[in-house]
Amino acid sequence: MKQVVIDTQIRTEAGKGVARKLRQAGRIPGVLYGSKTDSISLSINAHEFNKLLSSARGERVLFTLNLEGNGDTRRRTALIKDLQLHPVTDQIRHVDFYEVLMDEEVQVEVPIVTVGQAKGVEQDMGVLEIIQRTVRVSCLPMDIPKEIKIDVSDLALGEVIHIADITPQEGIRLLDDPETTLVTIVGAGVEEEGKEKEPEAEEEAEEEKSED
């Protein structure tokens, strides 16, 4: 978990016109949502915000927001809830934060990363298939992991890894159904068979359209 501090300006005006002017001035409009307080409209320096995200290199960032406005400065600790991107340039157009308390657990999605070379792939020419790429966890903000690694080295053809098979680090609770399948090894022919059926499904769809 990477911790950073960034200055923000409290906004009292809203609307598309206001947001457009902020972006033209090099700022990103945003909102801070609180579980126990009202939401706060704000804006942040686009260059500084992008630089902080770039330096995190994919790691989740815990922000200390300096909220400046109305003659005073307040501090809030927050995580990113959502980023709205431009459909063409991928520039950040809006950011939603949600406030967290350091002594209270939060629920977040954490990506799954497989490590090792499965014996079902090496010995039986199987295909490693990732069924679910994230898991929901509950933990204190500072304990949020960047990723959860799954060792697939001993996974044979036809075998699966469920959430129940994962042992998370101390302080982290897995929230998804323990029987949820995360990873499996399937035969190469199974994947090819699935691909061969796709054109047939398209042809059937075209026939249905023509009948209509």
Per-residue pLDDT tens over the stretch 82-133 = 999 999 999 999 999 999 999 999 999 999 999 999 999 999 899 999 999 9
Q: CB atoms < 10 A from the CB of 128, how many?
A: 15
Q: What does the pLDDT read at residue 196? A: 44
Share of the chain above pLDDT 90, in %: 74
For the entire predicted model, the pTM comes to 0.77
**Taking Cα atoms as reference points, which of 129, 182, 116, 192 lies closest to residue 157?**
129
Residue 97 CA to residue 36 CA, distance in Å, equals 14
Domain ranges of the chain: 2-99, 106-207
Q: What does the pLDDT read at residue 14? A: 81
Spatial strand order in the sheet of 173-174: 148-151, 106-115, 134-139, 173-174
Residue 132 CA to residue 153 CA, distance in Å, equals 18
Mean per-residue pLDDT, 169-196 = 82
Q: Is pLDDT above 70 for 57?
A: yes
Report the Cα 169 to chain-centroid distance in Å.
Answer: 20
Which residue carries 């090894």 as its tokens? 185
Q: Identify the band that residue 34 occupies on the pLDDT scale cut at 50, 70 and 90.
A: confident
**Class of the CATH-defined domain 106-207:** mainly beta
Q: Identify the band that residue 72 occupies on the pLDDT scale cut at 50, 70 and 90.
A: low
Do β-strands 92-99 and 127-130 pair in parallel, antiparallel, or remain unpaired?
unpaired
Do β-strands 40-45 and 61-69 pair in parallel, antiparallel, or remain unpaired?
unpaired
**Contact (Cβ atoms closer than 8 angstroms) between residue 144 and residue 165:** no
CATH H-level, domain 2-99: superfamily:
Ribosomal Protein L25; Chain P (2.40.240.10)
Q: What does the pLDDT read at residue 149? A: 94
